[in-house]
Amino acid sequence: MATVFDVAKLAGVSIKTVSRVVNDEPTVKPATRHRVQQAIEKLDYRPHSGARLMRSSKSGIVGMISDAVSSAVEDPLNAGLSGIHIVRGVQEACREAGKILMIADEGAIDDRAGVAKLLRTFESHRVEGVIYAAPLHMQVALPLPKGLPLVLANCFDGLGTPCVLPDDAGGQALAVEHLVATGHRRIAYVGLGDELVAGRLRRDAFRRACREAGLSETATPILIGFDATSETSLDNLRKSLARLFKRTSPPTAVCFGNDLMAMRGIEMFERMGLGVPGDVSVVGYDNDENLLRYLKRPLTTVTLPYHEMGRAAVSTLLQHRAPGGGRASAASQLVRGGLVERSSVQSLAPKRTTTQAT
Amino acid sequence: MATVFDVAKLAGVSIKTVSRVVNDEPTVKPATRHRVQQAIEKLDYRPHSGARLMRSSKSGIVGMISDAVSSAVEDPLNAGLSGIHIVRGVQEACREAGKILMIADEGAIDDRAGVAKLLRTFESHRVEGVIYAAPLHMQVALPLPKGLPLVLANCFDGLGTPCVLPDDAGGQALAVEHLVATGHRRIAYVGLGDELVAGRLRRDAFRRACREAGLSETATPILIGFDATSETSLDNLRKSLARLFKRTSPPTAVCFGNDLMAMRGIEMFERMGLGVPGDVSVVGYDNDENLLRYLKRPLTTVTLPYHEMGRAAVSTLLQHRAPGGGRASAASQLVRGGLVERSSVQSLAPKRTTTQAT
DNA sequence: CGACCAAATGACAACATTGTCATTTCCCAT
DNA sequence: ATGGGAAATGACAATGTTGTCATTTGGTCG
């Protein structure tokens, strides 16, 4: 393959001038520039990124560790496309920043030794930073790379490593506020398990939002810990729901832990003779378009802003890279997903908002 | 960051010996090796891949051009996860071969200029080869990279560039053979449009397989060109199916062009009062697990072997890289996906296979 | 016309590694 | 001991680029 020397010879200039043209430096006469470009064209010259990296120590590469692709294939049921959206956001932002993205997807994202190895590889390639994306909002314990900015997406390590997280509390509050604004006063919560970070955050946020709206605890029952992919778990949920809706004043709305649970819940309601949203309104969580397209009844839900989180992670990474070099100040950054109104919530009152003293 | 010189100094050896340890060369005394490894550990030394590349001109990187991630996000309805499976296969095979994968996903995969730019970037990084994966079995016209092996996955260019393709004809034949073996003699085909390569291949294969099974053309009607995502198109299909099943001897089985069409078709049959597989057997195509998990009735279907194609593409690439360097002999390679038997096909006869003279 | 300044270009070192070949070390048979 | 040969190690060049600084070119003003 041709080198700067070949190009310089053909164009009748020095190698330095070729370098200038390649790097779009301004101090080259138009005529010279043109001559060099022609030589480059003719010789199919491609700058050698390795040699380049040696001198400038700017690789232009961002590393990413994710299991999105592998788990989309190996475990489509649970993983779905969530992780893919983070990858996409990262990809987009990298392109806009002129960076090349190098994705390491070995599947075993929670294997410390495996991650350490990936980080070593990235260090060898002198990437400008690494983004680690988890499939679920969770706490992680990663081996920290030396002298290499790291940003966590959808996870945190409690050690001050910068991270980008979904605002689960804010999102859940949005759902409650919407239901309250549409006139609901008895709202049930059927949520994720307590073993999940998102489960705890959202449950607490649900409680707080209900209290702030002036709803009593008995009017806002909380059911926790159903696995929408397990049959026995679904049976339990069915029984609980049946009991709940046999009350004298049953809930008029239910917040589900995610869209899949909402989908299963709606099926149960229909089998119980309850129409959605006629007899009971339903709000999901995630806004998983890949799932929602199979629903008959468009589901009102809260977006889990994966795409935006990916973008935010890159932006944080490139900022952090600028000043010191290592990890730094703004520990965690919350990204809020919006409420998407579709037709699974019925408005019970004409009034839009409840005026209330604070 | 530490260099070989720092390590050599600390370990009391020459830089060459450090290099030998790093590259696992055998001619180093165990004691020396250990000393060097300790120094490496202590200094957090990471080999500089750029410098390495300059000397050895082996980057260990494989490039891939795909729109799988972006289209999974931007157009989940049509694209689904198909492309992701190719990426996954490529990823897996690269890891097994000790190569690092660099994925360029700019969305616009059919933009010649865009692809040319990506190829230039890959050339700059001295990747060892490039895999180009298309979302659909199709013909492409790519700018061919100079001195860089290229392998096409799920597409071909008719110019002798090596490619890996799904065996659509073989797969469709598998479906017909399965139906014939289970006793069906009147089989309808409701397939992809003629504008699709897969549509043409499968339609022809369906015809041939039926003829070879001794079925008459009137017993094997062919309906073409329905878009399972368009409402008007579905209305047309509904009418055609109604007409078809009002015949005196209607089909006992239908081969659909893909799983989504099969899913829609089954909905139509149910609305027409036809049970599946009681009144009509159904075979899909694609084996799209992400879709199939939402079906009540497990669908018998033919696998589109995306994962395997990804793996095959890498294997082809690494082989081709070895001898000459450029493109070479074995133009196109077919990968056959198997039939997955689920419960949408009813056996009409107790006999398993039809004995027949050839 | 010469001097001067800025613009344009060039010479050369430095970057971190591996390949080549030379040298040293070590072991063993003589 | 001593020579021979293999094993282990080292010296040095070469890789393709960009940064630094020097040099040349070209135009303008006195």
Query: Which residues from the 19-48 window of protein chain A have CB within 7 angstroms of nucleic acid chain C?
Result: 20, 26-29, 31-33
Q: What are phi and psi of A265, to 5 degrees?
A: -60, -45
Supply B93's token pair. Answer: 């095979």
The H-or-E segment that residue B306 falls in is: helix B306-321
For the cut 90, the answer to whether the pLDDT of residue B14 exceeds it is: yes
**A88 vs B contacts (CB less than 8 Å):** 69-70, 72-73
For the cut 60, the answer to whether the pLDDT of residue A327 exceeds it is: no
Average pLDDT, chain A: 90
Q: pLDDT tens, B289-313? A: 878 877 878 999 999 999 999 999 9
- CA separation for the pair B260, B191 (Å, rounded): 11
Q: In the beta sheet, which residues pair with residue A284? A: A301
C-beta of residue A163 within 8 angstroms of C-beta of residue A152: yes
Alpha helices in B12-81 (DSSP H): 15-22, 30-43, 49-56, 68-74, 76-79
C-beta of residue B265 within 8 angstroms of C-beta of residue B281: no
Alpha carbon distances (Å) from A133 to A89, A138, A176, B2: 11, 10, 29, 29
The pLDDT of residue A146: 87
User: From the list A53, A103, A123, which residue is nearest B46 (CB)?
Assistant: A123
The pLDDT of residue B325: 40
Alpha carbon distances (Å) from B343 to A286, B190, B267, B286, B327: 32, 19, 16, 16, 45
Reference A174, options A197, A206, A200; nearest CA is A206
CA distance B81 to chain A (A): 8
The pLDDT of residue A290: 76
Q: pLDDT tens, A39-84? A: 999 999 999 999 999 998 899 999 999 999 888 877 766 666 778 9
Measured CA A23 to C1' C6 distance, in angstroms: 22
**A353 C-beta neighbours (distance < 10 Å), count:** 8
The pLDDT of residue A78: 62
The H-or-E segment that residue B357 falls in is: none
Pairing state of beta strands A163-166 and A332-335?
A: parallel
Which H, E and C letters describe B214-250, residue by residue?
CCCCCCCCEEECCCCCCHHHHHHHHHHHHHHCCCCCC
Reduced to 3 states (helix: H, G, I; strand: E, B; else coil), residue B331 is coil
The pLDDT of residue B348: 86
The pLDDT of residue A328: 47
Reduced to 3 states (helix: H, G, I; strand: E, B; else coil), residue B101 is strand
| Residues 6+ away with beta carbon under 8 Å from A207 | A217, A220, A222
Tell which wins on pLDDT, A15 or A296. A15
Q: B3: which nucleotide lies closest, measuring CA to C1'? A: C16
- pLDDT tier for residue A326 given thresholds of 50, 70 and 90: very low
C-beta of residue B148 within 8 angstroms of C-beta of residue B127: yes
Q: Which amino acid is at B48?
A: H
B315-327 b/e (C-beta count within 10 Å ≥ 16 → b): bbbbebbeeeeeb
Listed as ranges, the nucleotides of chain D within 7 A of a protein C-beta are: 7-12, 14-20
The helix/strand count (H/E) of chain A reads as 14, 12
A314-336 b/e (C-beta count within 10 Å ≥ 16 → b): bbbbbebbeeeeebbeeeebbbb
The pLDDT of residue A324: 44
Q: Is the CB of A29 under 7 A from strand D?
A: no
Alpha helices in B125-277 (DSSP H): 168-181, 197-212, 231-244, 259-271
**Chain mean position to CA B313:** 9
C-beta of residue B223 within 8 angstroms of C-beta of residue B188: yes
Q: Across the beta sheet with B150-156, what order do the strands follow?
A: B100-104, B61-65, B130-139, B150-156, B163-166, B332-335
Phi-psi domain of B179 (left: phi exceeds 0; alpha: psi -120 through 50; beta: other): alpha
Average pLDDT, chain B: 91
Alpha carbon distances (Å) from B316 to A122, B130, B311, B334: 27, 11, 9, 12
- CA separation for the pair A258, B31 (Å, rounded): 58
What residue of B is the nearest CA neighbor of A56? B50
Q: A36: which nucleotide lies closest, measuring CA to C1'? A: C9
Question: Is A147 part of the contact surface with chain B (CB cutoff 8 Å)?
Answer: yes
Q: What are phi and psi of B332, to 5 degrees?
A: -120, 145
Question: Is A322 part of the contact surface with chain B (CB cutoff 8 Å)?
Answer: no
